[in-house]
Structure 1
Amino acid sequence: MKSISVYIHIPFCIKKCSYCSFYSIRAQSGIVEKYVDAVVEEINLRKELLSHRKIKTVYFGGGTPSLLNPHILEKIIETLHQVSSFHEDAEITLEVNPETVEEGKFYGFRRMGINRISLGAQSFNDRSLKLLKRVHDSAKIKRAFERLRKIGFENINIDVIMGIPSEEKRDFLHTLEETVKLNPEHISVYSLEYHKNTPLYLDMMDGKITPISKELERVLYFETLELLKRRGYIHYEISNYSKPGKESRHNLNYWLGGEYIGFGASSVSYFNGMWTKNEEIYSFLEKVNRGIIPIRRMEILSKDKRKRMLFILNLRLVKGVSLEEYRLHDFSPNFIEKLKALQKMGLMIKDTETIRLSDEGIILSNEVFSLLI
C-alpha cells in the first residue's frame, strides 16, 4: 500500500502578522466549527484518494491551528482514521503560536495524537516581534516551550526569522542563542521575505523600513551554520536544522517529491501527477455544503514539468540531487545549459554522484530556483 502525507489548513489567526502571505482570516464567532465540519465533509468527499493509501504524516498548518480546541480538531483526525489507515509511527504536527499554549488544551492535543509541535517564535527581540505584529513577547516563547515539555512533547521545532529590518548581527545571534538554550529537536531559520501587498512589503515600498544587505544576510547564514553545527544540529535543507533523526518527515515528503493531499481552504495537493489548489474559505464552504469537491485550480503536469519540479524540490536538500536517480541527459538542452551556468557562477556543485547548491547558492536559492523554473 502506497504511503501519503496529509496537510490540513486552519486559516484562523488572532491577528495577521505583517510579513505573512499565507491565506488566513481573523477567527470569527460561529465560523470555526462550521469550517472544521466542512473539512470533515471534504475528507469524506475525497476519501477514495486515501482509501488505498497509508498516512505517514499529518500537518495542521495555518493560520494558527492551535487557536482551536482539541475536541474540534479531533473530528478531523477521527475522520482520517475512518477513511484510511495510519503508519504506527505517523508524525502528526501542530503549528503553534506561543500565545495559545495553555496546559489543559495541550494535554488534549497530546491525547488526540499530536506528537510534534512547530512553535512560531520568530524572534527573541521584543522590538522585532512588535515590528512583525506578533501577539506574543519573548518571555511567552520561553514559558510556552517549558509548558510543552512539561506536557510531554518530545519533538519540538522552533521557527525563527533571519534578516528582520533594524536588527544587527548581535540581535539575530541573541535570538539564535536563546533558541538553542531551549534545546529543541529542530530549528527552522527562514530569511525574511517581502511578499507583495503584505504590510511589511508596503512599508518597504514607502521607505519606512529597509531590508538588510545581502552581505549581512551572508554573514548571518554562515554564523547560523557554525553555531548550530557546534550545538549538534545537522543542516539538512536550505532553512532547516535538526538533531539526528529529528528531521521534519512531512516536509521531507514535499522535498523528495512524495504525494500529499491538502484539505481545507486554499490547501494544495499533489497526487497521480496532478497539482490542485482549493477554493478560499467562503467558496470552499459553499461548494462543500453542496457536496462539490472544492478545487479552484487543477493542472495535470507533463512528464517534463513533473521531472523538473521534483529536481528543483530535491535541490532544497543540502545533500542535493542524486545523479543516479535524475540523469541529466533526460532533461531539455535549455535546462542543462542553465545548470552549467549556475555551476560557472559558483552557485551549484556537481560531482560524480550528486548535484547540489553551494553555500552561496543556498543564500541565493530564490534566484536560483527562479532561473530553473
Structure 2
Amino acid sequence: MAGLYIHVPFCASRCIYCGFYSTLTPKSAMRDESTNIIDRYVNALCKELELRKEYIFQPNAGNETDTKLQTIYFGGGTPSQISFRHIKQIFNCIQTVYGNHITSFEDMEITFECNPDDITEEFADNLKHLPINRISMGAQTFSDKRLKFLRRRHKSDDVKTAISRLRHAGIKNISIDLMFGFPDETLEDWQEDINEALALNVEHISAYSLMYEEGTPLYRLLEEGKVKDMDDELYRTMYDALIDSLSAKGYEQYEISNFAKLTDSNVSSFRSKHNNSYWQNKPYLGIGASAHSYNLQTRQWNVSNLQKYIESIETGKLYLETEIIDADTHFNDLITTTLRTREGINLNTLSPQYKAHILDTAQPFIAQKLLVLDGNYLHFTRDGIYVSDSIMAELMYV
C-alpha cells in the first residue's frame, strides 16, 4: 500500500491559528486568464508527479514493484480554491503517470479537503464527475463568534448546507474537523459543539485542541497577553467529554484525535485510510510546495515557497531536502506514530534489540496503567493519552 498527497497551498484568507504553508489565492486566479499562478502551480504538480514517479515504487525502497497506490489526499491550504478543470488535469496526470500502480480510482480512498462555504451547488455537481469519494471539511466550531475569532470565512449554518449538498452529490464518506480550548470557552460551549457535530451524522470526526504555534497571529496574541491558553484540568475535562459523547453515539476512537463511525456489525470502515498509512509506517509521496514524502528509507520535503517551487519544477529540477532514515530514527518514528493508534505498536515487527528496549522502558508506565501490553501490541490506556508526548519521549532510543 502507498499513498499520494497533493498539497494545494492557496487560501482565500488566513486563519489565525494556521501553521501550515499556504498563500493567499491571487485575484488574477479568480478571473478567466490563460496563464495565472494557479495554472503554473497545477502544471508544476503534474511535472513533479512525473519527476518523482519512482520514489515510492522502486524496489530498493523496501516495496515490491507491484505496490499499489491506494489513497490520494488533496490537502492544503484549501484545495477547493482550485477549479474543476485543474482537478481534472491532476487526475488525468495521475492516471497517465501511475496507471500501472492503480487498479481503478473507484477502488481507492480519495479525499479532498474543503471549506464549507466553497461547497456551492456547482461544486457539488462537479463532484459527480470526479473520482473523489471522501470529503474532509473544517467546521472547527458551530459558534459564529468563535469562527470570527479564528478568521474563518464560513458561518456555522454553512456546514449543514455543505453536507446536504455533498450527500445530494453522492458523497457517503464525510469527515469534519472540530477545535476546542478557545479562550474563555466553557465545557458547556464545547458540549454544544459536540452535539451539533453528532447531529450531522457524518462518518468521521477529527478533534484537536487549539494550538498556539510560533509564527501565527494566534501565538502573537498569546505573547501579548490578549488571550489565555486553557488550563490542563479543563483540557482533560473537554477531552473526556469528547470521547464519552462520540463513543456513546457509535464512534470508534482509532487514533488520539480521530473518531470513525462504526457500522451495524461494530466494524469501522470509515477510518481515514490515508492518514492511517502515516501511522502504520506505509510509504507516501507528497507533491507540491512544502509537501513531505517517505519511502521507508528516506524522508524528503519540498521547499516551502510557492515561487521557488514552481520555477524549479519548470526547469525540471526538484527543490527539496532529504533525510536518510537509519534504524534508530525508524524506531523512534514508529514510537511517535504507531503508538498514537488504538492498536498501538506491534512488537513482533521490531528487531530483538528494539523490542527489548521498549519492553524495558515501558514497564514503569505499564505499572502506572498508562500503557498496556495486549498480546503483541503495546498501546496507551485512556489515562496514558493525556501524557502521551512525555511517555513517547521516554520510549525513544537515544
| Equivalent position to 1:69, from 51, 76, 83 | 83
TM superposition shift of 1:168: 0.4
Q: Considering only aligned residues, what root-mean-square deviation do their CA atoms show, in Å?
A: 1.8
State yes or no: 1:190 paired with 2:208: yes
**CA contact 2:253–2:342 (8 Å) conserved in 1:** yes
SS in 1 for 2:159: helix
Match of 1:21 in 2: 19
TM superposition shift of 1:313: 1.1
Match of 1:282 in 2: 307
**CA contact 1:311–1:326 (8 Å) conserved in 2:** no
**CA contact 1:50–1:83 (8 Å) conserved in 2:** no
- Summarize deviations over 1:136-187 as a string: whole Å, max 9, x none: 1111111111111111111000110121221100111111111110100111
Match of 2:322 in 1: 298
State yes or no: 1:59 paired with 2:73: yes
TM superposition shift of 1:361: 2.3
Q: Which moved more, 1:217-226 or 1:319-328?
A: 319-328
Counterparts in 2 of 1:110 and 1:338: CA distance versus 1, 3 Å? farther
**CA contact 1:54–1:84 (8 Å) conserved in 2:** no
5 Å matches for 1:219-234? 219-234=237-252
Q: Give, in whole Å, the separation in 1 of the partners of 2:220 and 2:393.
A: 23
TM superposition shift of 1:50: 6.0
| Equivalent position to 2:49, from 38, 43, 46 | 43
Q: Give, in whole Å, the separation in 1 of the partners of 2:128 and 2:293.
A: 27
**CA contact 2:297–2:324 (8 Å) conserved in 1:** yes
TM-score (norm 1): 0.94
SS in 2 for 1:261: strand
Q: Which amino acid aligns with 1:49?
A: Y
Q: Tell me how many residue pairs correspond in the alignment.
A: 369
SS in 2 for 1:111: coil
Q: Which amino acid aligns with 2:314?
A: N
Could you list the runs of 5+ residues in structure 2 that have no partner in the other structure? 29-35, 58-64, 262-267
SS in 2 for 1:158: strand
| Equivalent position to 1:361, from 379, 384, 388 | 384
Q: Give, in whole Å, the separation in 1 of the partners of 2:129 and 2:146.
A: 35
TM-score (norm 2): 0.88
Counterparts in 2 of 1:371 and 1:11: CA distance versus 1, 3 Å? farther
5 Å matches for 1:1-373? 3-28=1-26, 29=28, 30-49=36-55, 52=65, 53-85=67-99, 86-88=102-104, 89-243=107-261, 244-280=268-304, 281-295=306-320, 297-326=321-350, 329-330=353-354, 333=357, 338-344=361-367, 346-372=369-395
Q: Which amino acid aligns with 2:377?
A: T
**CA contact 2:141–2:178 (8 Å) conserved in 1:** yes
Q: Give, in whole Å, the separation in 2 of the partners of 1:223 and 1:328.
A: 40
**CA contact 2:56–2:295 (8 Å) conserved in 1:** no
TM superposition shift of 1:257: 0.4
Could you list the runs of 5+ residues in structure 1 that have no partner in the other structure? none
